[in-house]
Amino acid sequence: MSSDTTAAEKLSGALTLIRSGVPERMLLLVIGGGAGIVSYRRLADHMSTDWSIAASQLPGLGPQSPESKSIEKMADAHLAAVIKETSASTYGLIGHSMGGNVALELGRKLDTLGKRVAFVCVVDQAAPQARVSWRDWLFWQKSAIAQLPARQRWRYIQDGIRYRLRSSRWLPRWCRFLFFGENQTDQNRNRAERQTANEFRMGLLEASLIALREHRPAPVGFPFILVRAQSGSPLIQADPRGGWGAVALGPFGVVDVPGHHMNIFAEENVSCLASELERFLESTDDNSRE
């Protein structure tokens, strides 16, 4: 474990420097959807690489923001921050869940700009062509509920049902007033003013599903690493390459690590992931010297 990890330094609205290192080499931890920086800070704490490490997260991302429903637009916003705030010539990108899709698209854009993409690492995420079924939708909702304290879980479900009924076209207005106390004045209010935190979270998850469903990335030739949780989704485990074979045409690596989708960055599991990533970073350094 490195001893030079310092407090995160905010570089811009989207980019946070977790550790200073060799400025020419930058490890970008791409945060997608409603995740936060805490998990990636834990990952960085278990790595001793001399690469600079930064986390990229879009501020103000919400269900109604244009970026939330497009992987490409998310990647464009991340790219703008990366180009503005970093001077690296070589990038390694890591993304968990939907962040993996964003990392792949960001890597493609950096490659197009002439930057060297050492690798893109997708952590426990199925390929874009995997269809979004009701099972996937329920899995996302289960994931969101699992992150909430026990006392808030039933409220989350209630708010989600209420939100769905309020926003439905088929529910008569008198039903909305009878069951939810909503009148015309309430309906004319800004939605953001009356959404609860849980409704916002559900809306963001659903927007993310739309983004994933519409994402159709072009094939890439840089190295690709698929990290699979040992208790991961059947969509990832069924195919030896997790469905990414048609997209990642360059060197391909698959790593299995302990845990499931929601605790892969937990303290008891993250050290295994960190050691595997350091191995790839070391091989990248060796190749760059040749």
Segment 206-228, tens digit of pLDDT: 667 777 778 888 899 999 999 99
pLDDT of residue 185: 45
Rounded Cα distance between 14 and 31, Å, is 10
In a domain, 267, yes or no: yes
What percent of the chain has pLDDT above 90?
30
Give the torsion through C-alpha atoms of 25, 236, 273, 49, to 10 deg.
-10
Q: How many domains does the chain have?
A: 2
pLDDT of residue 1: 38
106: nearest Cα among 217, 21, 186, 180: 217
Question: What is the per-residue pLDDT across 226-237, written as a single tens digit (0 to 9) for each?
Answer: 999 887 666 676
DSSP 32: -
Q: Which residue did the predictor score with more confidence, 104 or 188?
A: 104
Q: What is the 3-state secondary structure (H, E, C) of 184-217?
A: HHHHHCCHHHHCCHHHHHHHHHHHHHHHHHHCCC
8 A C-beta contact, residue 129 and residue 148? no
pLDDT of residue 70: 84
Q: Are residues 147 and 78 in the same domain?
A: no
Q: Are residues 124 and 142 in the same domain?
A: no
Note down the domain range covering 13.
9-128+216-289
Question: What is the per-residue pLDDT across 161-186, written as a single tens digit (0 to 9) for each?
Answer: 765 665 454 555 555 444 444 444 44
Question: What is the per-residue pLDDT across 142-163, written as a single tens digit (0 to 9) for each?
Answer: 776 776 778 878 877 777 676 5
CATH code of the domain covering residue 261: 3.40.50.1820
Rounded Cα distance between 197 and 178, Å, is 23
pLDDT of residue 274: 92
Of the residues 145, 179, 209, the one at which a domain ends: 209
Whether 28 shows a pLDDT value over 90: the answer reads yes
Whether 133 shows a pLDDT value over 80: the answer reads no
pTM of this structure: 0.73
Rounded Cα distance between 16 and 1, Å, is 20
8 A C-beta contact, residue 77 and residue 83? no
In a domain, 221, yes or no: yes
- Exposure class string for 150-183: b at 16+ Cβ within 10 A, else e: eeeeeebeebbebbeebeeeeeeeeebeeeeebe
Q: Are residues 236 and 190 in the same domain?
A: no
Q: Are residues 68 and 47 in the same domain?
A: yes
> pLDDT category, 59, cuts 50, 70, 90?
low
In a domain, 2, yes or no: no
Token digits of residue 14: 């989207």
pLDDT of residue 182: 43
pLDDT of residue 27: 94
Of the residues 192, 209, 226, the one at which a domain ends: 209
In a domain, 1, yes or no: no
Q: Which residue did the predictor score with more confidence, 59 or 47?
A: 47
Whether 4 shows a pLDDT value over 50: the answer reads no
> pLDDT category, 284, cuts 50, 70, 90?
confident
Q: Are residues 104 and 230 in the same domain?
A: yes
Q: Are residues 117 and 249 in the same domain?
A: yes
The CA-atom distances, in angstroms, between 23 and each of 44, 53, 86, 228, 267 are 16, 10, 8, 30, 28
Of the residues 209, 242, 271, the one at which a domain ends: 209
In a domain, 4, yes or no: no
pLDDT of residue 177: 47
Q: Are residues 269 and 154 in the same domain?
A: no
DSSP 266: S
What percent of the chain has pLDDT above 70?
65
17-33 mean pLDDT: 88
Handedness of CA 210, 54, 82, 88 (dihedral sign): negative
